[in-house]
Structure 1
Amino acid sequence: MTTTPDFLVDALGHQHAPAPAARIVCLVPSITELLCDLGLAGKLVGRTGFCIHPRDVVAAIPKVGGTKDVNIEKIRKLAPTHVVVNIDENAKPTVEELAGFVPHVVVTHPNTPRDNVPLARLMGGIFGAEEAAARWCLAFEAEYAALHASPKGPARTVLYCIWQDPWMTVSKDTYIANMLAELGWRVPDLGTDRYPRFAWSQALVDGLDAVLLSTEPYRFTEEHTDALEKQLGIPVVLVDGEMMSWYGSRALAGLRYLQTLK
């Protein structure tokens, strides 16, 4: 039997008493999917328009705007007991405004693949799905072990692009970079921002083994990869942005997806 602690602590050290009768607004797409997979869809009263998985389940959950342009009044009318936010996804002023009328703001910040384990336990512990969370964690540990039991490819330096006009990438302290690190790959240091802008130069290209173009948030396509590869003269690969950046439920498939990139 799983026991519930008197309180749980989120990414910023906030304490949360278990609340199995919660009304949840989730402003983090990947965590909306995780909550559904833990059997908590019935407690979700609001989501963003980017919370698209699982499609058949979230279709019935009201939208409250985007991750950055949240409709505060819609959330107020839904009278949630909890709102789930993320440091990278949601703007601090928005979160502070929500904290003025939502009793519990659960702040998340998974930054490495292994952070998915405490994330799942936190969601299960707060919302009364401890056993489902424990099963999910076992599945994650199995996928993680399988990844590291498989032969490793060569170490590489890769530039992971998330946007163009302006071109933007990820820093080494992001979830995406830490996913790549599971393969022994590193991203170049292009500044202090978590998602720095950059300009192409021969010096930059000379230090790379490959460029990865992500399918989200910018919708890079094979046409982009073909054109950029001809321009740069090094391998350019299209990668599934959900597999690389969605923590929570999609991390299970994400760990398997990493093996296809070796």
Structure 2
Amino acid sequence: MPAHVLILGGTTEARRLADDLAARPGVRVTTSLAGRVARPGAVAGEVRIGGFGGAQGLADWLRTHDVDALVDATHPFAETITANAARAAAATGVPAVVLRRPGWRRAPGDQWYDVPSLAGAAEALPGLGRRVFLSTGRLGLAAFAHLADLHFVVRSVDPPGPPLPPDTELVLARGPFTVADETRLLRAHRIEVLVTKDSGGEATAAKLTAARDLGLPVVVVRRPPLPRGVTAVPDAAGVLHRLGLGPA
């Protein structure tokens, strides 16, 4: 049984996993947060804030703190962190598990336009609508900064930094949001097209239902691939199984 588990967190699934592990006798759990949100929600167990300094820094931390298992439960688009975690685990021999909620699936009535990147989303937008709900997080908005002819509504927990599109309206709010919430926002701002990353899960899926109900096109940025040789489990139960822990 692992005695010290390090969770690379920041997602709802990471928080739930920390709750489960922290409640187990003999298991020490530490969750590492990147520090990009000013007021993160409460997390069970120990918490550290900030980066490790790349794969080597993470490997050093695993050794120094006697970590017995590493769980990468970061956002599906945290490509660099996932790559560093895989390298650190290989260098130290610490067992590692990647926790990734499944991606979204189309439903009847969806008008989705799949793109491989934020740059691809920016390229697709001019032909789809002028008033854009940009729901991709506050990082990466620079990809849309050159689109001066479009009006963007950007929702974020904390204010984003520059560069931003010239015509940007900021909505500061923390989810989760219901379908009714998202429908009101889309209608109030007269949104014509939604842009989102394929984060997956139920916590942020309401905007997709609202867009479908309103007949709006959705530009979906697909996830980056996992590092070669790395596979993911879809839920906390899969992580617990990999760690040799049964139900609480």
TM range (shorter): 0.3 to 0.5
Say which structure is richer in helix. 1
Which one scores higher on RCO, CA 8 angstroms, separation ≥ 6?
2
- Structure 2-normalised TM-score? 0.46
TM-score scaled by length of structure 1? 0.44
